[in-house]
Amino acid sequence: QLQLQESGPGLVKPSETLSLTCTVSGGSISSSSYYWGWIRQPPGKGLEWIGTIYYSGNAYYNPSLKSRVTISADTSKNQFSLKLSSVTATDTAVYYCASVPGVVRWDIDYWGQGTLVTVSS
Amino acid sequence: QSALTQSRSVSGSPGQSVTISCTGTSSDVGGYNYVSWYQQHPGKAPKLMIYDVSKRPSGVPDRFSGSKSGNTASLTISGLQAEDEADYYCCSYAGSYTSVFGTGTKVTVL
């Protein structure tokens, strides 16, 4: 069973870059069976899909965030990462990393516990 | 990519059935059979309840069922139980290896 754990700063200043890492255990991010994704949820609001990455390194982004987002993977550490640039208060949210069994289906079968990132000076 | 539209809240007494709708477009819900539903209790990560429109992951009670017609998907909870009180989100594949979530529905057990 996969386990995912987010890590990174809980506080980021406006205009700076938010950086988070997801460490995967119980499976390999080099698996051809999975995509790996990031989702966020502002306090008291709904879920928003940020983007996904495949083991090949190909990344796919929500069009509304595409200009500011980069998702990358480090197979040697079994981790994948999120960078979101030029953040504002509206980027304050709980950020989740997740696994998507995307070869034969498209949904999120495992989620990290989530990490709250607050954008504030 | 606009969020899928869900009713804000639904409620029912224990044992009753409730249905949550999720309306999108032909570019998401209507275009693919990759609709999933997630249950989220306060302060917790979402949990997969339905995938591929109507399939249940192992361990999810058969009280939960999903369907789709055109651009609208639905989640039905039969035999409502107290522990079913939570927020529910639909999600649909939207092409190019991305997805879009619904606005969320709060289910209240009276």
Distances (CA, A) of B10 to A62, B14, B51: 29, 13, 21
- Whether residue B74 has pLDDT greater than 90: yes
For residue A54, the model assigns a pLDDT of 94
Angle at the Cα of B33 from the Cα atoms of B4 and A100, rounded to 5 degrees: 80
- Whether residue B1 has pLDDT greater than 90: no
Interface of A with B in 35-74 (CB under 8 A): 35, 39, 46-49, 51-52, 54, 58, 60-64
Q: What does the mean pLDDT of chain B come to?
A: 97
Query: A59-112: per-residue pLDDT in tens?
Result: 999 999 999 999 999 999 999 999 999 999 999 999 999 999 987 899 999 999
Beta-carbon contacts of residue A40 (< 8 Å; ≥ 6 apart): A47, A48, A50, A91, A93, A94, A95, A96
Q: Nearest Cβ partner of A47 from B32, B46, B48? A: B46
The number of residues making up chain B comes to 110
Q: With bands split at pLDDT 50, 70 and 90, how would you rate the model's confidence at A12?
A: very high
> Quick one: tokens of B50?
């339905």
Cβ atoms of B24 and B88 within 8 Å: the answer is no
Contact B91 A114 (CB under 8 A): no
Give contacts of B95 with chain A, Cβ < 8 Å.
none
Average pLDDT over residues A12-21: 98
Q: With bands split at pLDDT 50, 70 and 90, how would you rate the model's confidence at B92?
A: very high
Average pLDDT over residues B77-104: 96
Cβ atoms of A59 and A71 within 8 Å: the answer is yes
Average pLDDT over residues A23-44: 95
> Measured in Å, how far apart are chain A's first and last C-alpha atoms?
39
Q: With bands split at pLDDT 50, 70 and 90, how would you rate the model's confidence at A48?
A: very high
Question: B6 phi and psi, to 5 degrees?
Answer: -120, 150
Beta-carbon contacts of residue B86 (< 8 Å; ≥ 6 apart): B39, B40, B41, B106, B107
Query: B20-34: per-residue pLDDT in tens?
Result: 999 999 999 999 999
Cα separation, A106 vs A99, in Å, equals 10
For residue B107, the model assigns a pLDDT of 98
